[in-house]
Amino acid sequence: MSSSRPYTIVCPQCEAEQEVELYDAINVQEAPALRDELMANQLNAVTCPHCGFQYRVDKQLLYHDPERRLMIYWFPGQEGEYRQNRDLFLQTLQAIDSALPDEFDPPTVHLVFTRTELIERIYLLEADLNERVIEYIKYMMYSRNLERLDPRSKAILFNAEDSNDQALCFVTQNLETMQLEEMLEFDRKAYEGLMEMFDQDDQTAQLMELFPGPHISARALLLDSNADATD
């Protein structure tokens, strides 16, 4: 079920303190309107009663779609905190798993760190695409075009709106200006070929080793690799 509770926050414009009701979790099967609010950038949106300033509160949020056995946990934070937050999330999952009955089969919980990742993951999984194979495609795009697609300054986002039966579409985002820039396409048949290849046990193991989760991101993988290389 969806859940919300009151939070005391400070307006970023006038610094007035106020109490607002914010969602901690949304169940989009029970309340599909909440999915629409999320996609429209209106979930956990606030209008300051003192100055009228409108803004969105980015906070931890559990997105639950029981029909698709889909759970996504949004853990906002700075890039430098990703490893720490991932470890905290894993510890929480392990504690939950240990408390569950052995016969209970919990759904996979996806971990994302930005609202953009959250929206992208929802669209991707609603399209019945494999998130690890999609990130592998991004990994190839980055690796083959590092001068043009530097992961330190460019994000590659799955574009559900323009994808079709012939091609999966992606768009690059300039992380300094947050502007969308170049459109990229990947042949749908090539995606299906990757799905068949990774369906083999040894190849599946390699894909899982590359993207073990719970945060599955080609860009994060490349940034982590660069950080490890310079340590």
Q: What burial class does residue 175 get, using C-beta atoms within 10 Å of its C-beta: 0-12 exposed, 13-18 middle, 19+ buried?
A: middle
Closest CA to 139 of 210, 187, 201, 214: 210
Please, which residues have CB within 8 angstroms of residue 119's CB and are 6 or more apart in sequence? Answer: 38, 39
What's the domain range around 115?
60-230
More confident residue, 34 or 213: 34
> How many domains is the chain built from?
1
Question: For 84-107, what is the mean pLDDT?
Answer: 72
> Does 95 reside within a domain?
yes
| Per-residue model confidence as pLDDT tens digits over 2-55 | 999 999 999 999 999 999 999 999 999 999 999 999 999 999 999 999 999 999
Strands laid side by side in the 154-159 sheet:
154-159, 167-174, 180-187
> Does 5 reside within a domain?
no
> Does 97 reside within a domain?
yes
Please, which residues have CB within 8 angstroms of residue 19's CB and are 6 or more apart in sequence? Answer: 6, 7, 8, 9
Beta-bridge partner residues of 107: none
| Per-residue model confidence as pLDDT tens digits over 136-165 | 999 999 999 999 999 999 999 999 999 999
> Does 49 reside within a domain?
no
Q: What pLDDT does 225 receive?
A: 80
Q: What pLDDT does 91 receive?
A: 81
> Does 18 reside within a domain?
no
> Does 47 reside within a domain?
no
C-beta pairs of 82-87 under 8 Å, 24+ apart in sequence: 82/113, 82/215, 82/220, 83/224, 85/113, 86/111, 86/214, 86/215
Q: What pLDDT does 62 receive?
A: 92
> Does 121 reside within a domain?
yes
More confident residue, 203 or 73: 73
What is the C-alpha to C-alpha distance for residues 151 and 226, in angstroms, rounded to an integer? 10
What is the C-alpha to C-alpha distance for residues 204 and 102, in angstroms, rounded to an integer? 25
| Per-residue model confidence as pLDDT tens digits over 54-91 | 999 999 999 999 998 899 999 998 777 777 888 888 88
> Does 139 reside within a domain?
yes
Residue 97's pLDDT band (boundaries 50, 70, 90)?
A: low
Question: For 169-180, what is the mean pLDDT?
Answer: 96
Residue 99's pLDDT band (boundaries 50, 70, 90)?
A: low
More confident residue, 108 or 70: 70
